[in-house]
Structure 1
């Protein structure tokens, strides 16, 4: 019983640390299901700017579990998410992105469970079409998730670093 309490406290502390690491700005949310005790289940809309590509902003919508566990941040959110990215200014495309091959680069990561599960956004650059591609997906330490969504940004007004 004592070990269980210590693990529970450790898990809450880790959850607090992980939530601080996220850099998305919550824009709003809608309730999707009423929960008698604790917060309702909802869909949250968050915004973030690509940290390495000035001039690109993304909006991510994702499910957030409510109830008592959700209120205390220990519930596991579902893997449902959608993303939309747009050019919001002059794009400055760093050389490292121009030369990067097909493996992509993570630009956003947020915990969606107490341990091991994260919602991630990875950026790819399609040289031939001069387009940035943003992929969102959920991972889990043991099982990958096939649920994903993409958004593309056609670069029309840009500065290419040399």
Structure 2
């Protein structure tokens, strides 16, 4: 498994006003795939506010969306091309004090020459985990 990316916050919107502590928000973050040059993913996720949220004690919901794009000539390692990096975690963010993480994993679809990014929460409380998907076809890049 490779390294995991660090996210950069792009912006946020308030969704619910809280009298005490920060409001509930949707945060938009960007991160570059640490093992594939020139792929950037944008992730939107819920952030719980209030007093517990302000102290880092609240559990965020599992809601997230992802969109990944090619931003230059893509360079894919032989390890990824050979399928030896299927399901590698490229990004993770703790969304509760102890147990819950939001993760992004990468797959390589050799038949279609595309990278596929799946985001999901790793703690299922009730039913199926919420998830979102984005695919990046590996295309020639010209300026």
TM over 0.5: yes
CA distance in 1 between partners of 2:127 and 2:90 (Å): 19
Q: List runs of 5+ in structure 2 lacking aligned partners.
A: none
Q: 1:43-54 counterparts in 2 under 5 A?
A: 43-54=26-37
Q: 2:129 aligns with which of 131, 146, 149?
A: 146
CA distance in 2 between partners of 1:143 and 1:34 (Å): 27
| Shift, 1:144, TM fit | 7.7
| TM-score, with length taken from structure 1 | 0.80
Given that residues 5 and 33 in structure 2 are in contact (C-alpha distance below 8 angstroms), is that contact kept between their aligned partners in structure 1? no
Q: 1:87-126 counterparts in 2 under 5 A?
A: 87-100=70-83, 103-126=86-109
Given that residues 113 and 137 in structure 2 are in contact (C-alpha distance below 8 angstroms), is that contact kept between their aligned partners in structure 1? yes
CA distance in 2 between partners of 1:96 and 1:157 (Å): 20
| Shift, 1:103, TM fit | 4.0
- Counterpart of 2:52 in structure 1 is 69
Alpha-carbon spacing, 1:22–1:134, altered in 2? closer, same or farther (3 Å): closer
Count of aligned residue pairs for this structure pair: 138
Q: Deviations over 1:46-97 (max 9, x none)?
A: 0000000001000000000000000011100000000000000110000000
Given that residues 86 and 153 in structure 1 are in contact (C-alpha distance below 8 angstroms), is that contact kept between their aligned partners in structure 2? yes
More strand per residue: 2
- Computed over aligned residues only, the root mean square deviation of the Cα atoms, in angstroms, reads 2.0
Q: Give secondary structure in 2 for the equivalent of 1:113.
A: coil
